[in-house]
Every structure is written in structure tokens, then in C-alpha cells.
Amino acid sequence: MQKPAETAVPLHEPIQERWSPIAFDSKPVEPDKLISLFEAIRWAPSCFNEQPWRIFVAISEDAESYGQLLDCLVEANQAWAGKAPVLMIASASTKFARNGKPNRHGPHDVGLALQNMAIQAQSVGLVTHMMAGFDIQKTRHTLQIPEDYEPMTAIAIGYPGTVEDLPEGMRERETSPRSRKSLGEVIFTGAFGTSSPLIEA
């Protein structure tokens, strides 16, 4: 199912089309497409080019690694994400490698990398769904994540499924309209809370 963004002007197609479905086809993702996702992460920008992202990935054919990531998700997410053929968990360095000082941009830069990946995925026919709903302590323990990295985001990736693939109770979520704040609520000029005059094309 498609739920393109409702925008005042057209967006680049994979940006317009990207959304976060919960219905996935269990069909595996081709190795070359997986590599393209990793490369999109790799080539994102970051503060001082520190590349603070460390990404765990597992495919459903590798039951042990896949189960490891799936078990870190909260139950409500396991209920649908377990059909996605690829799972990821992204972590962010809390320090600059260059000098050991705190890197307040770590999570931000992981966000840059993951959205680069999400658009790359969309461009090759895949869909993505990022999740904050996972057990941070369990993730840290299971994946042996050191103290100076912070587990940030879980991601389900795969080909789109259909609403009929979902249990009855989850179908409404999939078909309900998407919503966003208006441009005037988030794009300011001059002072916080002052809608930019540039939003009126």
C-alpha cells in the first residue's frame, strides 16, 4: 500500500513515497541491495567526519543473529517486525574518537545516516520502519555494546507486504492517514515560534 506525503510542491520520488509501514513481505533482500543500504549509511555526512554510527544487521536466513535483534524489540514491535527479512539496530558513539570529548552530535549523525539509508532503500523498492521501541539495556548486553556507544534505533527493512498479511488488530494502523504539523509550526524566521514568510511560495 502507498501513502505518499501530501506536499505543497512535488518532492523527489523516493522522498515523496517513503513512509513507515508495518506490513512486510518476508521475501529476502538481494545481497547487492543490502550492500547499497550499508554504503548509504557509510557515506552520510557527520560532525568532523567522525562517522559515529555502528550498525548491527541480521537477515532472517541467519536465525541466530536475526533472533538476537528481534528479541531486543518490545513485544508490540516484534508482532509485525518479525516478518521483515532484515533487521538493524543502530548505535551512536558518545565521544569523539579524535580527542575523547563528548560528541553531542552522535545521535544526530546516526539520524543522517539512517535517513540516507531509508531513501536508498525506497529507491530500490524496499520499505523501512524505524523504531524507538526496543530494550536498550538488553540490546547493550546482547550485542556487547561498550559504554561509550548508545543504542539509538531499531529498523525493519524489506519488500512491502499487504494489509492482509497483518493480524486483524493491526490493520487499522496501517491504513490510517499520515499526519504532520503545518510548515508554519516548524519553519521559523527571525525568532522561535515566528512562522517563516518563505513558507508562502
How far, in Å, CA of 71 to CA of 45, rounded? Answer: 31
Do 89 and 136 form a contact (C-beta atoms < 8 A)? no
Which of 168/173 has CB closer to its own copies? 173
C-alpha angle 7/10/15, rounded to 5°?
A: 85
Which of 80/164 has CB closer to its own copies? 80
How far, in Å, CA of 143 to CA of 19, rounded? Answer: 28
Distances in whole angstroms, Cα of residue 50 to Cα of each of 44, 46, 93, 140: 11, 6, 9, 21
Which of 43/71 has CB closer to its own copies? 43
Which of 75/191 has CB closer to its own copies? 191
**Three cell numbers written together for 102:** 563528548
Fill in the DSSP letter of residue 129.
E
Taking the complex as a whole, the smallest distance from the CB of residue 174 to its own copies amounts, in Å, to 15
